[in-house]
Structure 1
Amino acid sequence: MGTPLGDFIRAKRDSIQPESLGLPDRGRRRSPGLRRSDLAVRAGISVEYLTRIEQGRDRNPSVPIVNALADALSLDPAERNHLRYLAKITGGECAAHTRPAPPPRGVRPTVLETLRLLEPGIAVVTNRLGDVLARTSGYELVLGASGFLEADAPNLTRYVFTDPGARTFFADWDDVADEHAFDLWLGPSIENSEWLTTELAPVAGPEFTERLNRHAVPRRGVLRLNHPSGQELRLLRETLELSSDAQQLVVFLPADEETAHAVDQLRHPSPGRLRAIS
């Protein structure tokens, strides 16, 4: 049985063309990407050891080995951080057999006060599973227009992968889906997957599972929304990690004058103006 660490290394190896690393093209091969033997040489380890890591038979590679693999794969800073994180959680997978506690849903009073000060801006507090724990009225106005906040326990990840309307609401749905799949790896415990396997995966289908196991580090560029008002909104995001709470505060800012004007119109609709309803 594989591990998140082994899956990520294998996925990155398969995505690399040997020529991009200055290696010779050795003709046709059964699988795409970089050969295991070439990666092992670049990392200074044996092919047999690399095989054990990729197949999950070695779950505790040393820090120098992890760094050598990051160098050999030419990972960017975000990918290096993810590799180190996967090495950490993979090594701890077998350490505990008790049922993990669910991530906390409570939001500290000081964080709630911060949200209040951000009004009427667009801001939300979530955990890594995508649960919406607190939000401003601006968030309800802009992102709540999708309808997902009407659920008893609104969850962005579930909405993205199970509601057909999400593919219309998010203009760049593929990028957003990659973000939410990736963030599930950053939860309080790899075994948050209890929620994953019992609630999300059965209804989200194989496309979700494929994205989750691909470990694609998302770009997190401009968020484009096809708002039900008929406007395309373009939003920048600033994220404050609340590490001690395993939560994050995300503030959304208009990326251009057109979006700023559109958001202002949503807050203060002109008298008699008809507004589209999703």
Structure 2
Amino acid sequence: MGSPLGDFIRTKRDSIQPESLGLPDRGRRRSPGLRRLDLAARAGISVEYLTRIEQGRDRNPSVAVVHALADALSLDRSERDHLRYLAKITGGVCSAHTQPAPPRRDVRPSVLETLRLLEPGIAMVTNRLGDVLAHTSGYESVTSHTGLLDADPPNLTRYVFTDPRARTFFADWDEVADELAFDLWLGPSVENSEWFTTELATVAGPEFTRRLNRHVVPRRGALRLNHPSGYELQLLRETFELSSDAQQLVVFLPADERTAQAADRLRHQPHGRLRAIS
């Protein structure tokens, strides 16, 4: 049985061409990418130890080893952060015996007041598991008639992976799917993440599981939407971490004048008021 840490290291190793690191071409390999022998040598550890980490038989590598592997894989800052996070939760998975708990869904009054101040802008409060906890009328207007807010409670991750309408609504569906799968690893606790992914995997199928285990660190560029009314929207995202709540306030800003005009027209359609789920 593997581990999140081992899966990520193996995936990154398979994606690296030896020539990009200045290593000689050693001919045909049984698998693509960097050989374990070469990665182990670059990290200063034994091949046997690297194999144990990748296969999940060693779940507690030292901080020095994690940093050495990050250097050996030439990870960027976001990937290094993810590697350290996976090392942390992988070490805790084998000792977690508590009953998984559902994620927190209440939003503090001061955060709800902040949303009201952002009206009629486009904003929402979510958590790493994709629950849409509260939103402005502007957010409701740009997601109207897409089915995203139909569930009780609405969940963006479930919508993207299980509702066929999502593939049309999100112009860059693949990138959005990678983002949401990645964010599940950053959930408020290992228990919550396991609780949710077990539930989702039964309905989302192999497409979700494959993305979850790829550990692709997302770029999080502009969000492009195809609204059912025919408008094409391009939104920039500003995300504010609500660390004490394990939640995020996400504000969406029109990236161009056409989007601004389309959002204004959508806002003038009746969609209701601020909704909070508790």
TM tier, smaller: over 0.9
Q: What is the one-letter code of the residue matched to 2:236? A: L
* Bigger relative contact order (CA 8 A; separation at least 6): 2
Range with bigger deviation, 251-260 or 139-148? 139-148
Shift of 1:157: 0.3
Q: What is the one-letter code of the residue matched to 1:230? A: G
Matches within 5 A, 1:192-207: 192-197=193-198, 199-207=199-207
Question: CA separation in 2, counterparts of 1:217 and 1:156?
Answer: 18
- Deviation per residue, 1:45-96 (Å, 9 max, x gap): 1111111111111111111110110000000100000000000000111222
Shift of 1:110: 0.9
Task: Work out whether 1:20 is the aligned partner of 2:20.
Answer: yes
TM-score (norm 2): 0.94
Give 1:141's aligned residue. Answer: 141
Shift of 1:196: 1.4
- Deviation per residue, 1:114-168 (Å, 9 max, x gap): 1111000000001111111000000000023412212121000000000111000
Q: Once the two structures are aligned, what percentage of the paired residues are identical? A: 82
Give 1:150's aligned residue. Answer: 150
Q: Equivalent residue of 1:126, what SS?
A: strand
Give 1:168's aligned residue. Answer: 168
Give 1:94's aligned residue. Answer: 94
Q: Equivalent residue of 1:150, what SS?
A: coil
Q: What is the one-letter code of the residue matched to 1:253? A: L
Question: CA separation in 2, counterparts of 1:153 and 1:265?
Answer: 27
Q: Check the 8 A contact 2:100/2:194 in 1, yes or no.
A: no
- Count of aligned positions: 268
Question: CA separation in 2, counterparts of 1:102 and 1:136?
Answer: 24
Matches within 5 A, 1:64-103: 64-103=64-103
Give 1:273's aligned residue. Answer: none
Structural RMSD (CA): 1.0
Task: Work out whether 1:127 is the aligned partner of 2:127.
Answer: yes
Question: CA separation in 2, counterparts of 1:92 and 1:196?
Answer: 17
Task: Work out whether 1:56 is the aligned partner of 2:56.
Answer: yes
Give 2:185's aligned residue. Answer: 185
Q: Check the 8 A contact 1:170/1:224 in 2, yes or no.
A: yes
Question: CA separation in 2, counterparts of 1:100 and 1:244?
Answer: 20
Q: What is the one-letter code of the residue matched to 2:190? A: I
List alignment gaps of at least 5 residues for structure 1.
270-278
List alignment gaps of at least 5 residues for structure 2.
270-278
Q: What is the one-letter code of the residue matched to 1:101? A: A
